[in-house]
Chains A and B, each alone.
Chain A
Amino acid sequence: MLSAHVLGVGVLGPGLPDWPTAAALLRGESPYVAVASALPPPAALPPAERRRAGRVVRLALAIGAQAVADAGVCTGNLPAVFASSAGDGDNCHEICEALASAERSISPTRFHNSVHNAAAGYWSIAQGCQAPSTALCALDASFGAGLLEALLQLRAGAESVLLAAYDVDDPPPLRAHGSVSDAFGVALVLGAAPQARARLQLSFTQAPPTRLTEPALEALRESIPAARALPLLQWLSRPMQGCVVLDYLPEQRLQLHLTP
């Protein structure tokens, strides 16, 4: 059975500015108020890249930085799995508008930022990390696909791995066709060796996904693919022996057996 220890957590979403705040909300210690996500410029990038970093790169680098700081791990040789249900809609919109115009002039930066692994590339540059990184997409199953890949990398010999799952809402007119209501991202540093931190074991199940009791948080879970991780985050906010089921593909869900 695939398993991992959760060494660090990062989160950023509407009304969830960081993991300590999100953990308190998920424990029910303070009421959830959904305010739009604010994405900080990535401090780890050189000034030129920092200015040009779009919302997707800002979000991915912010949650990654939170998680590695929480875990207290060195990023120099940390493999990374990036997962996003759609990619960079802002960038795609600009390119498609340009291609629909008479000039068809695309900026070189916009083009190289259009790749789905742009955030993974900027993360490796910012951290000086030559370890493998990957960028996945599985629509609504993207968090689950990323979690599976991270656990498989641990099984294949990695000591620890960063998982970052994130989605950013599209601008019009793409917005009408997407499935993301606002920016939301979650990052976990997962380790193979026994640690003092929580342990999870993964298996496939047909059971329905675990829901959140707070209606606004449950609405968030349903409206952003990366937020399908919220039941796991709720458990991590108050670890106890138990089991959560996360959304994955239409045919199967991921069951996580959890040990504090």
Chain B
Amino acid sequence: MTRMDAVWIRDYTAASALGLGRAATRATLEAGRSALAPCRFESAALSTWVGEVAGVDAVRLPAAHAAYNCRNNRLAQLGLSQDGFAERARERIAHWGAARVGVFMGTSTSGVLETELAYRERDALTGALPQGFEYRRAHNAFALTDYVRRVLGATGPAVTICTACSSSAKVFAAAQRMLAADLIDAAIVGGVDSLCLTTLYGFHSLQLTAPGPCRPFDRMRDGLSISEAAAFAWLERPSGDTAGSDVLLLGTGESSDAHHMSSPHPEGAGARRAMQAALQTASLRACDIDYINLHGTGTPSNDAAEARAVHALFGSQVPCSSTKGASGHALGAAGALEALICALALQAGLMPGGLNTDEPDTSLQVDYLTSNRRAALARVLSNSFGFGGANCSLLFARADGARAS
């Protein structure tokens, strides 16, 4: 495994159930507050809890891009509007040149909600979908990436990565490769996934949704809580402008479980392989990692498999937690959201404690944090694992602590 060139996270923002923008997200994490609530989404009649972002449907897309209107792109627009991210992105695109800025987005369901709603209004005679149904710009997985590149004005390479719950972790790895090859000078990466009936009823059919708020790593954990989020980062090669408190992407690791479509490898073999590769590409060892943001969905088998993988590589020494008890599982946006939580953690010196975990499962041999812990952090790992056994682990560091002592 060859060492990779580091990437500078020059800017980032997020809109999730945790809050709109970096300060609100950090405040929710510092308060140890869960954003989950009983599901009231659309017409869903399911006894489960979700992390819904308030105000998504009030968002209006710019008139020039109105054809892209769907809940997922409204959430994308809400995310881009936080912390001045879109304005600075446009300035930097003007600096680098539009063709030298790539856009790499992760999503699992993009605008499928539009199609779900359109299927309720099919023509009784012909079965046709209603007038105005817009597949390419408001349902397709690329609709998200296409929207972001058009609304910001970037014309470089663009793709949507769609590997279920690791989608928007893998975009960081794809953008890193493209920066390293000098095909681009900057990348806008991120993930947007929004609530829809396919995932709510789908996870319910697999008996993977918890009836209450999810309780990752709890002895009585009984499933996940679905949520939604938009999270974006601006990536460049490190330069003289990179400050010591800025965050770098140092390592990326990807692997496949080759085991089952919707259950993890019981020993976490694929998860372990992804974390190992992230360490190797960063030329770091397990003892160099200060904190792990777990995938930690709260389903019995996912948490058990991940705990085995973490224990095999790190023993029980490295503090770790899942932030999904606070945010819910944002599926295709989870990787990017949690990457940005890692950036906040590094900059604030805060390891967010896992919420809703009243009785940690002692059979899971990891140092699972159930309350916030303050400590200077230099290097942290973020895990994302998806259906189909698509795993991705990302290693982030403060620029002033990037190299191990």
Question: Which residue numbers of A lie inside 8 Å of B, CB to CB?
Answer: 2, 85-87, 92, 95-100, 104-108, 111-118, 120-122, 124-125, 127-139, 141-142, 145, 148-149, 152-153, 155-157, 172-174, 176-179, 204, 249, 251-252
Contacts and interface: CB of A to CB of B under 8 A. Distances in A.
Best-buried of A97, A116, A120, A133 by chain B (most CB within 10 Å): A116
A130 B255 contact: yes
B160 A251 contact: no
4 nearest CB pairs, A to B: A121-B388, A111-B202, A116-B162, A132-B254
Contact of B161 (A2, A127, A136): A136
Interface stretch (B49-57, B121-129, B309-317, B370-378): B121-129
B158 interface: yes
Contacts of B135: 174, 177-178
Interface of B: 1-2, 4, 45, 99, 108, 112, 115-116, 118-120, 122, 126-129, 133-136, 140-142, 145-146, 155, 157-164, 170, 174, 177-178, 180-181, 183, 197-198, 201-203, 205-206, 254-262, 269-270, 273, 386-390
Contacts of A152: 174, 177-178, 181, 183
B257 A138 contact: no
Contacts of B254: 132, 134
Given A124-B258, A137-B159, A204-B183, 18 more contacts: A95-B202, A96-B198, A100-B116, A100-B120, A111-B198, A117-B163, A120-B256, A124-B389, A130-B257, A130-B269, A131-B256, A133-B163, A135-B388, A138-B158, A139-B146, A141-B142, A152-B174, A173-B129
Nearest to B3: A157
A137 B141 contact: yes
Given A124-B258, A125-B259, A104 B201 contact: yes
Given A100-B116, A121-B390, A156 B4 contact: yes
A204 B155 CA distance: 12
B161 A134 contact: yes
Contacts of B159: 136-138, 141, 145, 148-149
A106 B198 CA distance: 8
Contacts of A116: 108, 141, 162-164
Contacts of A138: 142, 145, 158-160
Contacts of B1: 157
A251 B149 CA distance: 12
Contacts, number: 206
B270 A130 contact: yes
Contact of B128 (A87, A92, A134, A173): A173
A137 B164 contact: no
A106 B208 CA distance: 14
B261 A113 contact: yes
A120 B163 contact: yes
* Interface residues of chain B: helix, strand, loop or mixed (majority): mixed
22 contacts: A99-B119, A108-B205, A112-B261, A115-B163, A116-B108, A117-B388, A124-B258, A129-B256, A130-B255, A130-B256, A136-B162, A139-B140, A139-B142, A141-B159, A145-B157, A156-B2, A156-B4, A157-B2, A173-B128, A177-B134, A178-B135, A252-B99
A216 B20 CA distance: 52
A67 B179 CA distance: 29
Given A130-B258, A130-B273, A111 B160 contact: no
B206 A111 contact: yes
A246 to B, nearest CB: 14
A129 B140 contact: no
Contacts of A108: 202, 205-206, 262
Nearest to A136: B159
Contacts of B269: 130
Contacts of B145: 138
Nearest to A126: B258
Contacts of A96: 112, 115-116, 118-119, 198
B388 to A, nearest CB: 3
Contacts of B177: 149, 152-153, 155-156
Contacts of B273: 130
A79 to B, nearest CB: 8
Nearest to A254: B157
A155 B118 CA distance: 44
B141 A133 contact: no
Nearest to B115: A96
Best-buried of A2, A86, A108 by chain B (most CB within 10 Å): A108
A114 B202 contact: yes
A99 B198 contact: yes
Given A127-B258, A137-B140, A177-B133, A99 B201 contact: yes
Best-buried of A92, A156, A176 by chain B (most CB within 10 Å): A156
Nearest to A79: B254
A138 B136 CA distance: 10
Nearest to B112: A92
Nearest to A128: B258
Contacts of B45: 104
B221 to A, nearest CB: 20
Nearest to A76: B258
Nearest to A133: B256
A135 B116 contact: no
A176 B387 CA distance: 30
A159 B36 CA distance: 45
Contact of A117 (B118, B120, B122, B387): B387
B81 to A, nearest CB: 25
B50 to A, nearest CB: 16
